């Protein structure tokens, strides 16, 4: 077993094109560090949410140039097998470690396979890549990004020609094509031949952002903005300038791309402490709202002044922003289908139904939301919003930020705030209180054990609320294809439990609905909602053994 592992590592080392990972692997081999080698050669990275994502390093279980070259060769083979023998593949990348290298390798492989490779001119937001696919009539797109993952990670997100992320069976077929790739020496990778695009695509994307705003709407909201050390600053500030908003006040420490993400433990606005610098800036600048993008700027976080919050600012939940944007679009007369994933608040369905719009639930991920027929607006509780599906069929943190700023401006003209509108929505539709129990693990077996416990002994009540029905989503439903998850319907509540598709986490999504008679009832309703959510969290943790 030891010799097999060493032999496997030496074989990988012999064809690794990257001096950094070659050096890393050679040291592990020389030291006979079997634990480290086993971690890198225990299998291969598998396609998950739209592609690959993992820790940087040597070996098939890490993100590196060898893995990316194989992924690109597999994608090229898949496209050619589908008859796309000379189409364009657009390639974008963020500012993480190795992202530019991975983009260049992908372009070389596509060119060697006879496809036309077009690379975005510099690190840009993921939504620009998603837009570019349809704008250029490409057959596929690749974005090199790990989104909001830790600094040590990178990823490889694949889109097809409709501009949306891959779903089954395409993901499995691409994975099979990757597995069929032989030695890297057999993958043609010319030194040149691909196109580096100019700013024309970015300019076209920015021109498109104007379409999300209502002509003549007020543009007065003052915004503090953080790019979270990612690539959003230049594009968002350009979009705000085009739209006529005041120039955002930047969180200077986080405005420029930095793959080390030095000021945050995790570059995700939802993580504790990630917004501390933004709130400090807001306390100095006194804006109407704070807006944050994640590092590849496809997610949008919003915070509002709140005297009752610690530090005077409160992050809105993704479900709250989702409802606010839905209400704003309805007020503007938007028609079509409103869609969300099953882990998001059921409030969207009530808003859509009252407005006479269609409504649809999908599996988790924008790869599903973007495919809804007649989509007008889609959102997911993890800070993802699609407000212009004709332009970007994916979540887009830039256009979402514009729409939030427009809504804040409209309310500002009325002497009101986003919190006032949330109160109105709760009175009209009931208070929909949501929370998430998220457990990050080092050992993935912890997640498997928790799911097994819940399947073998499902809870009959949570926080004193009877479980009225339970669904094992791995078996699929009439509306949803199979996925690893559990859904519990309770009297006035709902719980969904699922492993994360992008991080080593078990995620539990909780919602309680409390009727509200009038605005005077809101404090009592909120207290009851918080109490029920805390009870559900406690009882679910015990049932899952986490």
DSSP state of 367: H
For every one of its 546 residues, what pLDDT tens digit does the chain have, with 9 covering 90 and above?
A: 688 999 999 999 999 999 999 999 999 999 999 999 999 999 999 876 578 999 999 999 999 999 999 999 999 999 999 999 999 999 999 999 999 999 999 999 999 999 999 999 999 999 999 999 999 999 999 999 999 999 999 999 999 999 999 998 999 999 999 999 999 999 999 999 999 999 999 999 999 998 899 999 999 999 999 999 999 999 999 999 999 999 999 999 999 999 999 999 999 999 999 999 999 999 999 999 999 999 999 999 999 999 999 899 999 999 999 999 999 999 999 999 999 999 999 999 999 999 999 999 999 999 999 999 999 999 999 999 999 999 999 999 999 999 999 999 999 999 999 999 999 999 999 999 999 999 888 888 999 999 999 999 999 999 999 999 999 999 988 888 899 999 999 999 999 999 987 778 999 999 999 999 999 999 999 999 999 999 999 999 999 998
- Residue 54's φ and ψ, nearest 5 degrees, are 180, 180
Q: Contact at 8 Å (CB) between 63 and 98?
A: yes
Angle at 392 between CA 149 and CA 199, to 5 degrees: 85
Per the document, the length of the chain is 546
Give me the pLDDT at residue 3, please: 85
Q: Contact at 8 Å (CB) between 81 and 166?
A: no
Residues 6+ apart with CB under 8 A from 177: 73, 74, 75, 77, 78, 81
- Residue 433's φ and ψ, nearest 5 degrees, are -95, 130
The set of catalytic residues is 147
Global model pTM greater than 0.85: yes
CATH number, span 2-198: 3.40.120.10
Q: Is the dihedral of CA 329, 331, 335, 341 positive or negative?
A: positive
254: three-class secondary structure by DSSP: helix
Q: Contact at 8 Å (CB) between 346 and 336?
A: no
Q: Which strands make up the sheet holding 300-305, listed edge to edge? A: 249-250, 223-226, 289-293, 300-305, 313-315
- Residue 214's φ and ψ, nearest 5 degrees, are -80, 130
223-226/431-440 β-pairing: unpaired
Distances (CA, A) of 395 to 156, 319, 333, 520: 16, 14, 21, 36
DSSP state of 264: -
Residue located via tokens 């049932």? 543
Q: Contact at 8 Å (CB) between 315 and 303?
A: yes
Cis before 169 (ω within 30): yes
Residues 6+ apart with CB under 8 A from 215: none
Give me the pLDDT at residue 48, please: 63
Q: Contact at 8 Å (CB) between 509 and 464?
A: no
Q: Tally Cβ neighbours within 10 Å of residue 46.
A: 11
Tell me the domain boundaries of the chain: 2-198, 204-426, 431-544
Instruction: Give the fold, CATH level 3, of 204-426.
Output: Alpha-D-Glucose-1,6-Bisphosphate; Chain A, domain 3 (3.40.120)
355: three-class secondary structure by DSSP: helix
Same CATH topology for 2-198 and 431-544? no
Q: Contact at 8 Å (CB) between 148 and 157?
A: no
249-250/223-226 β-pairing: parallel
Domain 431-544, CATH among 2.60.40.10, 3.20.20.10, 3.30.70.1350, 3.30.310.50: 3.30.310.50
């Amino acid at each position: 077993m030891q010799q097999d592992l060493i032999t496997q590592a030496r074989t990988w080392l012999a064809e690794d094109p990257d001096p950094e990972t070659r050096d890393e692997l050679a040291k592990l081999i020389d030291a006979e560090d079997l634990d480290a080698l086993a971690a890198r050669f225990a299998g291969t990275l598998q396609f998950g949410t739209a592609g690959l994502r993992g820790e940087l390093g040597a070996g098939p279980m890490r993100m590196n140039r060898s893995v990316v070259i194989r992924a690109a060769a597999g994608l090229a083979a898949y496209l050619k097998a589908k008859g796309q023998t000379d189409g364009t593949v657009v390639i974008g990348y963020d500012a993480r470690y190795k992202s530019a290298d991975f983009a260049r390798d992908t372009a070389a492989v596509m060119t060697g396979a006879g496809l036309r490779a077009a690379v975005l001119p510099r690190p840009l937001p993921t939504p620009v890549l998603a837009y570019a696919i349809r704008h250029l009539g490409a057959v596929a797109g690749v974005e090199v990004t790990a989104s909001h993952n830790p600094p040590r990670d990178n990823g490889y997100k694949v889109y097809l020609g409709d501009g949306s992320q891959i779903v089954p069976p395409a993901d499995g077929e691409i994975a099979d094509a990757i597995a069929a790739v032989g030695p890297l020496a057999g993958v043609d990778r010319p030194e040149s031949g691909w196109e580096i695009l100019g700013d024309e695509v970015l300019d076209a994307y920015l021109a498109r952002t104007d379409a999300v705003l209502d002509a003549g709407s007020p543009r007065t909201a003052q915004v503090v903005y953080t790019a979270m050390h990612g690539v959003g600053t230049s594009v968002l500030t350009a979009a705000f300038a085009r739209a006529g908003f005041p120039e955002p006040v930047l969180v200077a420490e986080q405005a420029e791309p930095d793959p080390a993400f030095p000021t945050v433990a995790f570059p995700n606005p939802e993580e504790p402490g990630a917004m501390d610098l933004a709130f400090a800036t807001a306390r100095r600048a006194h804006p109407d709202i704070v807006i944050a993008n994640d590092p590849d700027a496809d997610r949008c976080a919003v915070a509002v002044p709140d005297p009752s919050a610690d530090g005077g600012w409160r992050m809105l939940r993704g479900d709250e922003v989702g409802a606010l944007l839905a209400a704003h679009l309805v007020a503007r007369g938007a028609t079509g289908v409103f869609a969300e994933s099953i882990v998001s608040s059921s409030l969207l369905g009530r808003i859509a139904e009252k407005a006479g719009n269609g409504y649809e639930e999908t599996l988790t991920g924008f790869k599903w939301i973007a495919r809804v027929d007649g989509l007008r607006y889609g959102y997911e509780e993890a800070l993802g919003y699609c407000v212009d599906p004709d332009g970007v069929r994916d979540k887009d943190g830039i256009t979402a930020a514009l729409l939030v700023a427009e809504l804040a401006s409209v309310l500002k003209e009325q002497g009101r705030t986003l919190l006032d509108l949330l109160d109105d929505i709760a009175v009209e539709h009931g208070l929909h209180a949501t929370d998430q129990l998220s457990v990050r693990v080092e050992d993935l077996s912890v997640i498997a054990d928790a799911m097994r416990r819940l399947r073998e002994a499902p809870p009959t009540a949570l926080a004193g609320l009877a479980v009225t029905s339970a669904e094992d989503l791995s078996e699929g439903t009439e509306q949803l294809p199979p996925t690893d998850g559990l859904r519990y319907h309770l009297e006035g509540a709902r719980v969904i439990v699922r492993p994360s598709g992008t991080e080593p986490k078990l995620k539990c999504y909780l919602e309680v609905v409390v009727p509200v008679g009038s605005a005077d009832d809101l404090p009592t309703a909120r207290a009851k909602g918080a109490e029920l959510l805390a009870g559900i969290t406690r009882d679910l943790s015990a049932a899952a053994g986490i």
